[in-house]
Chain A
Amino acid sequence: MLATKVIQDQGIHVEGLNFYTGFCVEGHTHAIRKKDKQKEKKNSSLWVAEQLGIKLHIVDISEEYKDIVLNPKHGYGQNLNPCLDCKIDMVARAWKWCQENDFDFVITGEVIGQRPKSQRKETMPLIARESQVQDRLLRPLCAKHLPETLPEREGWVSRDALYDFHGRNRKPQIALAKSLGIDEWSQPAGGCCFLTDESYSKKLQDLWDARGERRYELDDIMLLKVGRHIRPASNYKLIVGREEGENNFMRGYRSQFTYMFATSHSGPLTLIDGTPSDEDLLTAARILARYSQGRNAEQVSIEIVRTHNQPGQVVQVVPMPIEEMPESWIIH
């Protein structure tokens, strides 16, 4: 937002690009979880575009992005976040878009030292080089720490009116925002992508381990955002809804999974991912009973549906006591 404003204030026409990877936190999660329903569900990049008075193009790259997540040339950050490859890819896409739409250069809001892996002084030229944008990539917020770019050399942008921010201290940026009349901004970068989340990354790794191969579909990564994931054995796992909003969302997946729910007590919807045996389904039913209102009952009736819209099988099970459920089953 700030970088755009700085460039706009030099009289330059800017348009925004927002890439949808499938791992974006906002939108989805708030739409799914009932407790988040009260939160205002505005899309922050659209909101920013509106504040700045610029057009915003949202590009769905979720399919092509798989290659970045699965095979990052520069490796992962703390979790399964391939930030450096991700940035190179996004800048490359932005530059391609510029060429197709008669724009002259790309700007990003990067600040040297703000992110330990992807925003170091050494990574700045690397991103410019590998994305092939070269010296048409301008970082207005830390430009003074970097070599002159083409837009500066050509006089399209005045270097004097760019900044020299660095490090994690956001105070100078906040002060600049205030001086530019921006007093409300969306969440700073980070925390907006599930791949930086430890628990989410563990679930994704577990999915790959259990499948014996590193691949995913959009539905897989959506479902990693909801429910408790419990894996009693490598051939199957349970996804147990944690609240009404999640149960509603998971209902949309009933035709793709074996699923179960309690009929004698209220309780969550549970999807079973994998290839469970009949015995595994009974174990799953006992686990589900534990998360139902019947957790202290002697028996709970669970309906197991293998094919959606076909009659299910009702079984009576004893809820699994906590001592029987190893901590290692719960993926978090």
Chain B
Amino acid sequence: MTTHELNARNLLCPLPVIRTQNKINSLDAGDHLVVYCTDPGALHDIPAWCRVHGHTLVSTTEISDEIVIEIEVVKS
């Protein structure tokens, strides 16, 4: 398992979701992706995208204006 990071700060939705999706498509099952973003819309969209694609949402954290979302990649 490898943990990867994605900087999606200052991008407005749906761009953080698109970047997350494209990154995850290149990862292996069991890998973790930590996404850093600033658009609060990502708090809805990235978890929704994970549910739709069956990836596991490990955690969402808000630290002042920054949102950190950790995802575990599940490949069917």
Contacts and interface: CB of A to CB of B under 8 A. Distances in A.
B15 A20 contact: yes
Interface string A47-72: 10110001111111000000000000
B58 interface: no
A28 B44 contact: no
Contact of A43 (B10, B40, B44, B51): B44
A20 B48 contact: no
Contacts of B53: 55
B15 to A, nearest CB: 7
Given A28-B13, A31-B12, A49-B52, A20 B45 contact: no
A103 to B, nearest CB: 16
Contact of A27 (B41, B43, B51, B52): B41
Contacts of B41: 27, 30-31, 41, 43
A192 B73 CA distance: 31
Contact of A58 (B14, B39, B44, B51): B14
A42 B12 contact: no
B24 to A, nearest CB: 12
A41 B40 CA distance: 8
Contacts of B12: 27-28, 31-32, 222
Interface residues of B, number: 19
Contact of A24 (B10, B14, B45): B14
Interface string B39-66: 1110111001101110000000000000
A90 interface: no
Main secondary structure of the interface of A (DSSP, over half): mixed
A182 B41 CA distance: 25
B37 to A, nearest CB: 11
Interface string A144-155: 000000000000
Given A43-B41, A55-B53, A57-B21, A27 B14 contact: yes
Contacts of B17: 43, 46, 58
A42 B44 contact: yes
B40 to A, nearest CB: 6
Contacts of A49: 52
A21 to B, nearest CB: 11
B52 A43 contact: no
B18 A47 contact: no
A181 interface: no
A58 B48 contact: no
Nearest to B25: A57
21 contacts: A18-B14, A27-B14, A28-B12, A31-B39, A41-B40, A41-B41, A41-B44, A42-B48, A43-B13, A43-B14, A43-B17, A43-B45, A43-B48, A47-B48, A50-B48, A50-B52, A55-B52, A56-B52, A58-B14, A58-B18, A252-B10
Given A30-B41, A43-B13, A49-B52, 6 more contacts: A40-B44, A42-B44, A42-B45, A43-B14, A50-B48, A58-B18
